Amino acid sequence: MERTLLSLLLVVAIVSPAHAFRNHYRQHGRHAFTSSAIDDMIPKPLSTTNSIRGSPMPGEYVVTDYGAVGDNSTDNTAAFAKALAAANDTAGGIVFVPPGSYRFTGQLVIPTAVTLQGSFTTVPSHDAKAGHYPVDGTVLIPLADRNNEAGKPFITVGRDSTLAGVVIWHVEQGRFEPPVPYPFAVALVDENAAVKDVEILNSWNGISAVAAHRHYIARIQGQPINIGVYIDETYDIGRIEDVHFNPWWSSDVNFMYWQTTFGRSFVMGRSDWEYVFNTFSFAYAIGYHFVETSTGSMNGNFLGIGTDYACNASVQVDASQLAGLLITNGEFTAFHNTLEQHPQRLDLIAFDACDNTQVVVGKDNTGPVNFVDCSFWGPANHIARLAGNGVTTFNSCEFNGWDYLNTNQSAIYASGGTLIVQGTNFNENKPQVELEATVDKVIFLGNVGVGSENIINHGVKQVQSGFNAFD
């Protein structure tokens, strides 16, 4: 019994990648972990099996074997390129980056079928505001193209390639002044390109996926400042899941002014059937921005998405495809973001001009926009401001905290398109809907709320309303 267990453990120890990484860490990681507390958390090798293998597994390349030094000062651009090329020259493989702080004056390209793998197997977060900087694990520090947003992305991920398990830290980005532009931290540029378990602590622009059909973006955290995730030119199902953007780097007023006035956490251009699951962002001008690019717009499935402290709009739809945007179980908080109204949030900005409407559907939109089982809470002006000629649906939703300025604004204001509202709770004693005569059709069915039913209609003929229960 004991012997069986022991040999099982030996087998696990020999084949487990974690064991392999530890092994490399022991050989190459002298610049790595300085914190003994973290050191103690690393599982110790089982008995003497560690000495069985002294070199990387086949298909595994370690950057320190190619001259990389994680000492927080050496330029590692050339050494990483060599390690990546070595994997590329064979049949692909895993290029492992032991814990350490690696600086780069240039960019990296991950070739086909290669994974650039750091020490994290799930995404960390570092609360710089609390003095918690990334000084442990694998930290990549890009230095190029400060003030040049149009420069090459720091890491380009090619076909069937992956970036995984690293922190990307722009050490030269300040915390107490307006943020400085840099190029995208990560660009997925070909089929099946993937980025997972990566912290983009303070990237100006985070991750782009353009012409990266079936891209996979998973388990990402950090505070990208200008754009978090950008999608375009995707003709086969792209996947985004478990993405969490929070102001861990800075909530300084000068810094946040920029982020909450111009920053957008998700910018969605052309994609055919994007799948987006479990994503969240805090304190941007726009949470989810659906745009028209030269290649078109998006249709897709959005499940469990959210955004808090969105200052212009939680969801803004300039354009969508015929099959539409299907948004289910969303949680959205737009903020009227003024200093007088939020003296307690001095840390988070003084800006009086933003519109803070939860859902904005623009005049050029033609596709359907469906919200099912979504909760909206303010302080916001409108829950929705709808134009264009598509159909917008709210089904089983919760509306709270609109008309923050107390001027009797309606929850939904529509100047175009068709509106369907069903089974929704209007939790303010304020008008529910205001319709300009340019609206096409409206169904308002089976809703409840406090106050009286109040649909302000400026001349829409086709309005069907019934089975509603108000006070």
Indicate the burial class of 432 (C-beta count within 10 angstroms; 0-12, 13-18, 19 or more): buried
Give the nearer residue to ligand NAG in terms of CB position, either 171 or 303.
171
Residue 88 engages ligand NAG in binding (rule: CB under 6 A): yes
The answer to whether 83 and 95 have CB atoms below 8 angstroms apart is yes
Q: Which tokens go with 18?
A: 């974690």
The answer to whether 101 and 141 have CB atoms below 8 angstroms apart is yes
Q: In the bound complex, what is the minimum distance in angstroms from residue 380's beta carbon to ligand NAG?
A: 14
- Kindly write out the interface string for residues 228-267 of this chain, putting x where it contacts ligand NAG by CB under 6 A and - elsewhere: ---------------------------------xx-x---
As a whole number of angstroms, the distance between CA 229 and CA 243 comes to 9
Mapping DSSP to helix (H, G, I), strand (E, B) and coil, where does residue 63 land?
Answer: helix
Residue 133 engages ligand NAG in binding (rule: CB under 6 A): yes
The values of phi and psi at residue 193, to 5°, are -65, 140
Give the nearer residue to ligand NAG in terms of CB position, either 4 or 147.
147
Q: In the bound complex, what is the minimum distance in angstroms from residue 86's beta carbon to ligand NAG?
A: 9
Give the nearer residue to ligand NAG in terms of CB position, either 113 or 200.
113
Q: In the bound complex, what is the minimum distance in angstroms from residue 466's beta carbon to ligand NAG?
A: 23
278, 140, 130, 344 alpha-carbon torsion, rounded to 10°: -50
* Total residues belonging to the chain: 471
Instruction: Please work out the total of residues on this chain that contact ligand NAG, with binding judged by CB under 6 A.
Output: 19
Q: Residues 10, 86, 135, 237: which binds ligand NAG (CB under 6 A)?
A: 135
Give the nearer residue to ligand NAG in terms of CB position, either 133 or 257.
133
- Strands of 76-164, DSSP E: 93-96, 100-104, 108-110, 114-117, 138-142, 155-157, 162-164
Q: Residues 16, 47, 148, 408: which binds ligand NAG (CB under 6 A)?
A: 408
Within 294-333, the residues that bind ligand NAG by CB under 6 A are 312
- Kindly write out the interface string for residues 275-294 of this chain, putting x where it contacts ligand NAG by CB under 6 A and - elsewhere: ----------xx--------
Q: In the bound complex, what is the minimum distance in angstroms from residue 171's beta carbon to ligand NAG?
A: 4
Residue 72 engages ligand NAG in binding (rule: CB under 6 A): yes
Q: Residues 10, 14, 171, 339: which binds ligand NAG (CB under 6 A)?
A: 171
Q: Which residues pair with 462 in a beta bridge?
A: 441
Q: In the bound complex, what is the minimum distance in angstroms from residue 353's beta carbon to ligand NAG?
A: 4
Question: Which of 219, 174, 176 has the alpha carbon at shortest distance from 200?
Answer: 219
As a whole number of angstroms, the distance between CA 423 and CA 450 comes to 14
As a whole number of angstroms, the distance between CA 161 and CA 159 comes to 5
Give the nearer residue to ligand NAG in terms of CB position, either 140 or 285.
285
Residue 163 engages ligand NAG in binding (rule: CB under 6 A): no
The answer to whether 190 and 158 have CB atoms below 8 angstroms apart is yes
- State the Cα angle at 421 between 418 and 425, rounded to 5°: 155
Give the nearer residue to ligand NAG in terms of CB position, either 54 or 131.
131
- State the Cα angle at 458 between 453 and 464, rounded to 5°: 50
Give the nearer residue to ligand NAG in terms of CB position, either 150 or 353.
353
Residue 434, amino acid? E
Give the nearer residue to ligand NAG in terms of CB position, either 55 or 408.
408
Give the nearer residue to ligand NAG in terms of CB position, either 170 or 215.
170
Residue 269, amino acid? G
Q: Which residues of the shown chain bind ligand NAG in the complex (CB under 6 A)?
A: 72, 85, 88, 101, 109, 111, 133, 135, 171, 261-262, 264, 285-286, 312, 353-354, 407-408
